[in-house]
Amino acid sequence: MAVTVIVDNLPPTAVRVGLSPLAELTAHLHAHTEREHHPQARPTDEVALDPGLTEQMHRWSPLWSAYQARFLLPAGPRLGRPLADELADLAGLPLALFVEHAGYAIRSGNSGPPLDRLLDDAEQQRQLRRAARLRSTSRRELAEQLLDAPTAFRADLLDFLARYAQASFDAEWHRRQPRLQAEVHRLQIRIRDRDTATALAELSPSATVLDRPRRVLLDKLHSGIIRLDQAPCLVVPSHYCWPHLLVKHEQGWPIVIQYGIQAARDSAEPSLALLRSRLQALADPARIRLCRLIAREALTTLDLAQRSGMTEPQVSRHLRQLRDATLVRPERDGRLVHYQLDLEAIRNLGLDLEHAIYR
């Protein structure tokens, strides 16, 4: 399946690149509550949050987990606004529109029956209750809260977002904003100097550019056709979005494409060549034995030779291959060099391998 973005005969100004603290806050929350997708994102640890705030975060998580509520992205065509202004947009959204899109997120998608009259239509309310009940108890409870008291529901959500931002997001946003702003500038130049289709395709390694008409195919779990001449298109770089590429194109809203910046991709995803070298290095039983020996403590070549029964030259050759694959770290202590296994690199290859080494 793919989302097709048609960019035929459009000027570079048709795509607006900029920052959205609300979109990044939502990506931060997603990375925090969906950590299996984002092992490298490392947002502030839950233990550092107030327990009540952590509980609230998980309560609200259906709004940004598998399907993200549209109101948690820029509502208008302007980017680069403060978080307080974007939250004010959310507070001022017509209640019926807010309830509709909260309903889509709670049931995890807008591909089913419409919820455009959810605020006062008994049949749509019944459909949402049923869909939420089939998903989980937490979603059922959230649906009931939305339908019973929508105004209070929105006020509680806004209060949570403001408190979470102050406790866990604002400092990170301040620290990462210069890098994100540099990415905005880079992509703006890329769009200006190349063409829009090529620049958009570079946001995802699985994207494809086709002609007649000029368009970009984005590999997604849903299908859709987006014409950039029919709505503003906002492109928002993110540190926490990777490995996802978020494409939102609901009618009546600006199109939003949120993508992970290269620095986040580089830290999260080793190259195919590095992955191959790691697997090849671990294919030798002798090197697996060395990994097991240095998993718990750093050892010298002499120590490893004595414990493994190999000669020092043999150990050195095996360590060189493990070092080339970035699976071990040398640590110098005066004239001695100790070798320590890089546990994170091993863990990234799989838990079965980690368990076998620590057995």
* Domain count for the chain: 2
Indicate whether 220 and 350 sit together in one domain: no
CA distance 246 to 56: 24
What is the mean predicted confidence (pLDDT) over 215-223?
Answer: 86
Indicate whether 54 and 95 sit together in one domain: yes
Q: What is the DSSP letter of 299?
A: B
**Which of 215, 240, 268 is where one domain is finished?**
268
**333, pLDDT greater than 80:** no
Contact 133, 123 (CB under 8 A): no
Indicate whether 207 and 327 sit together in one domain: no
Q: How far is CA 203 from the centre of its chain?
A: 13
Indicate whether 285 and 239 sit together in one domain: no
Contact 234, 255 (CB under 8 A): yes
What is the mean predicted confidence (pLDDT) over 240-254?
Answer: 91
CA distance 70 to 64: 9
**Which of 228, 246, 268 is where one domain is finished?**
268
3-state DSSP helix/strand/coil % of the chain, to nearest 5: 55, 15, 30
Contact 155, 92 (CB under 8 A): no
Contact 354, 342 (CB under 8 A): no
Indicate whether 338 and 264 sit together in one domain: no
Indicate whether 222 and 280 sit together in one domain: no
**221, pLDDT greater than 50:** yes
Residue 55 has a pLDDT of 94
**Which of 249, 268, 287 is where one domain is finished?**
268
Q: pLDDT-derived band of residue 246, with 50, 70 and 90 as boundaries?
A: very high
Residue 110 has a pLDDT of 82
CA distance 25 to 33: 12
CA distance 102 to 87: 15
Residue 128 has a pLDDT of 97
Start-to-end CA distance of the chain, whole Å, equals 42
Q: If we measure between CA atoms, which residue out of 66, 102, 100, 71 comes closest to residue 87? A: 71
| 158-206 residue pLDDT tens | 999 999 999 999 999 999 999 999 999 999 999 988 889 999 998 988 8
Cis status, amide bond into 74, omega within 30 of 0: no
What is the mean predicted confidence (pLDDT) over 95-105?
Answer: 98
Q: pLDDT-derived band of residue 93, with 50, 70 and 90 as boundaries?
A: very high
**48, pLDDT greater than 80:** no
Indicate whether 55 and 199 sit together in one domain: yes
Indicate whether 231 and 335 sit together in one domain: no
Residue 209 backbone phi and psi in degrees, to 5: -105, 130
The CATH number covering residue 334 comes to: 1.10.10.10
Domain hosting 333: range is 272-358
Indicate whether 287 and 307 sit together in one domain: yes
What is the mean predicted confidence (pLDDT) over 124-149?
Answer: 95
Indicate whether 137 and 32 sit together in one domain: yes
Indicate whether 57 and 99 sit together in one domain: yes
Indicate whether 139 and 281 sit together in one domain: no
